[in-house]
Chain A
Amino acid sequence: NAGVTQTPKFRILKIGQSMTLQCAQDMNHNYMYWYRQDPGMGLKLIYYSVGAGITDKGEVPNGYNVSRSTTEDFPLRLELAAPSQTSVYFCASSYNGAYNEQFFGPGTRLTVL
C-alpha cells in the first residue's frame, strides 16, 4: 500500500494564481482531512470529508475549496493565491474519524510570491 500520497511536493505560485493540490489514499478510509502547517506551529484543519460527496469546513477554510467524488481522492483547490497561504499542506486519512489515528501524506510545500 502506498498509504496517503500528495502531489506536487513543492510549488511556487504568483499572487492571484490558482492551483489544485492532489491527495489520494489506498486504505479505503472514509475520513480525509486537509491541514496546513505554518512555521513553528502545529497543524490547523482546513477542510475535512466523512465520505464521498460529503465535505465540510475546518478551522481555516477561507481561500480554499475541496471536493470528494471518490473514496480515494480529496483534492484541495486554492483560488486567487495570497502570500498568507504560504505554508506546508498535509493531507490525512483515518478509518473511523475521532476514534482512530490519522495517517498523513508527505506534504506539499507551497510558496506564494
Chain B
Amino acid sequence: AQKVTQAQTEISVVEKEDVTLDCVYETRDTTYYLFWYKQPPSGELVFLIRRNSFDEQNEISGRYSWNFQKSTSSFNFTITASQVVDSAVYFCALSEAGTSYGKLTFGQGTILTVHP
C-alpha cells in the first residue's frame, strides 16, 4: 500500500531563513510519481512540482528546490530566503503507475509560518 509521511506538523521561521520540508514515501511500485502542492490560507491547492521515479535529478525553480533520493524514499522541498507569502500548508503526494487512474495519496501536510 502506498503511504506518504510528513513528520513535521508545523514549522515556524523568520523571513529570509531557509526552510526544508521533509517527505518520506512508501510504495511497492517501481514506477511512481511524486508531487508537492501548496495550500495558502485562501484554501485552494496549487500544484508546485511533479517528479517521476526514474528522474532523480534535483530541481530548482527560483527560491524553491527539491531533493529526490530513492535510496531513502524521500522527496524533500527547500525554500531559500523564505518570505511571508510562503506561509501555507504544503502537501507531498504520491501516485503509482500501477494505479493508472491516478489516485493521489497525500501526506498530512506541513504548516509553514513565515514571520516578518
A→B interface (CB under 8 Å): 31, 33, 35, 40-45, 48, 50, 56, 58-59, 88, 90, 92, 94, 96-107
Q: CB distance A98 to B50 under 8 Å?
A: no
Q: CB distance B104 to A99 under 8 Å?
A: no
Determine the residue in chain B with the shortest Cβ distance to A45: B103
Q: CB distance A106 to B44 under 8 Å?
A: yes
Given contacts A88-B43, A101-B35, contact A41 B100 (CB under 8 A): no
Please indicate the chain B residues that have their CB under 8 angstroms from the CB of A40 in the complex: 108-109
Q: In the bound complex, what is the Cα–Cα distance between A14 and B86 (angstroms)? A: 37
Q: In the bound complex, what is the Cα–Cα distance between A75 and B43 (angstroms)? A: 20
Given contacts A88-B43, A90-B45, A107-B44, contact A102 B106 (CB under 8 A): no
Q: CB distance A97 to B43 under 8 Å?
A: no
Q: CB distance A45 to B45 under 8 Å?
A: no
Determine the residue in chain A with the shortest Cβ distance to B35: A101
Determine the residue in chain A with the shortest Cβ distance to B47: A101
* Listed A/B pairs (26) with beta-carbon separation below 8 Å: A33-B103, A40-B108, A42-B93, A43-B91, A45-B103, A45-B104, A50-B101, A56-B101, A58-B103, A88-B43, A92-B45, A94-B102, A96-B102, A97-B100, A97-B102, A98-B32, A98-B96, A98-B102, A99-B102, A101-B50, A102-B104, A104-B37, A104-B45, A105-B44, A107-B43, A107-B44
Determine the residue in chain B with the shortest Cβ distance to A40: B108
